[in-house]
Structure 1
Amino acid sequence: MADYQNRPLSPDDLDVISGLPRHAGELFYMYPKGVYPLTPEQIRETLKTRFCPTVITAEGGEIAAYANLYDCVRGAECWLGNVIVAPGYRGKGASSYLIRTMMDKAKREFHAPYLNLICHNTNTPALLLYTKLGFRLYDVSEKTGPDGERLAGIHMRVSL
């Protein structure tokens, strides 16, 4: 397993992060409102309503993952968003490190008692990871996938 570090997003990271989704399906999991291919401009626009944009790096500084927080209400709740892990770091602990880092940021910076997220029912690896990290289902909503198909948005939360 690699030795990971976290740091705030830098403008220099946008080109790399926008290249992480390999196809429209992956982009949908990361950024459902995004248009494939993801561009730095789309990320910049999203950042206007996001908090704590965080980059996970591996040894040598290579970007391994990215996420941010949104709709955070101090002392009440926070939402995890735009989670993406570089293909070469999937299954190597980067996603667990990323999610734990974002849980810590929500607790430390917003005093959130829990962290929420929505994961689509077709994203089995993410659902399994979130469950392993303590997230539990609390609601389901209907979503529309990139090809117009009906999906379930699995609402999950973890106590911080």
Structure 2
Amino acid sequence: MKYVYRSLEEKDLSAISTFPQSEEELKYISPAFIYPLTPNQIVDLLKDRLEPTVIIEQATEEVIAYANIYGYDLAKSICWLGNVIVSPKYRGHGASAYLLNVMFEKAKHHLAVKTMRLACHNTNSRGLAFYSKHGFKPYDLKIVNIDDKRIISIHMSRELTK
């Protein structure tokens, strides 16, 4: 499959809203979201986000993945990867790796940062394995309360090479 990327457009919001398959999965994307995900929730969260990006399957022009960047700090040369989600139909087909590489390039070249960070819940073993495979290393953890449950948020970091 051939993928391309572009900036998020309003017409993409409905498709992205269908990607989370459960309340738990939606909490992996953002603890601020309430299931089911709606376009308005995505727009509301964009207020403090940069580089909202969608991945498109070129042959069908279907929106298949989404992510953005937050916590941008040029002085510390860091940013955080946020709201990563891939359409269930395209999981396991390289879309998430393509999305991650696009976000690395945007962080390096558009924002001029050297380090990308992310937070991944301890219950998201698939996400933890994926991020580890792509060079992220745990550096901290934080206990957070989500829906009256205590969850460990594992903070991971990756240096962005030239």
The bucket for the TM-score relative to the shorter chain is over 0.9
Structure 2 counterpart of 1:48: 47
**Shift in Å, 1:149:** 2.4
Specify the SS of the correspondent of 1:20. coil
CA distance in 2, matches of 1:149, 1:42: 22
Whether the aligned pair in 2 keeps the contact of 1:140 and 1:154 (CA below 8 Å) is: yes
Whether the aligned pair in 2 keeps the contact of 1:73 and 1:110 (CA below 8 Å) is: no
Whether the aligned pair in 2 keeps the contact of 1:15 and 1:39 (CA below 8 Å) is: yes
Structure 2 counterpart of 1:93: 94
Structure 2 counterpart of 1:62: 62
Structure 1 counterpart of 2:80: 79
Gaps of 5+ in 2: none
Alignment of 1:116-131 (within 5 A): 116-131=117-132
CA distance in 2, matches of 1:25, 1:40: 18
Runs of 4+ in 1 over 4 A off after TM superposition: none
**Shift in Å, 1:74:** 2.3
Q: TM-score, normalised by structure 1?
A: 0.95
**Shift in Å, 1:82:** 0.4
**Shift in Å, 1:55:** 0.2
Q: TM-score, normalised by structure 2?
A: 0.94
Gaps of 5+ in 1: none
**Shift in Å, 1:100:** 1.1
